[in-house]
């Protein structure tokens, strides 16, 4: 018998996680952020450019339900954009941000 409750109850943990397998979450890829005044926001029109807080080539943040889970880069898959996962955020670090 294991002293580790997770290992000892691994089957029940897997069964409980399996119940969540079909729960949908919202995944977002964030290119960057900026802060602007409402006055500047109202002046935006077609062709306006806003500088973001990221440099070209920096990895993009991949968020699930607003929590960063990874960083990656944009790729083209056929005629669609995709995201290639690079650095996965450590689960303990992820939990600290929740």
Contacts of 63 (CB under 8 A, 6+ apart): 27, 28, 29, 30, 69
**Which comes out higher in pLDDT, residue 28 or 13?**
28
Residue 34 and residue 45 in contact, taking contact as beta carbons nearer than 8 Å? no
35, 80, 31, 33: which is closest to 59 by C-alpha? 31
pTM of the model: 0.68
pLDDT in tens, 43-55: 999 999 999 999 9
d(CA 59, CA 70): 9
pLDDT of amino acid 97:
64
Place of tokens 């889970």: 69
Q: Which domains does the chain have, with CATH numbers?
A: 24-96 (2.30.330.10)
In this prediction, residue 15 carries a pLDDT of: 77
């Amino acid at each position: 018998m294991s002293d580790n409750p997770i290992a000892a109850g691994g089957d029940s943990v897997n069964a409980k996680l399996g119940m969540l397998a079909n729960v949908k979450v919202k995944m977002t890829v964030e290119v960057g952020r900026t802060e602007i005044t409402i006055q500047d926001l109202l002046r935006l029109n077609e062709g306006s450019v806003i500088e973001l807080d990221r440099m070209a080539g920096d990895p993009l943040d991949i968020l699930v339900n607003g929590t960063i889970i990874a960083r990656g880069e944009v790729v083209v898959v056929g005629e669609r954009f995709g995201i290639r996962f690079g650095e996965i955020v450590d689960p303990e670090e992820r939990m600290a941000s929740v």
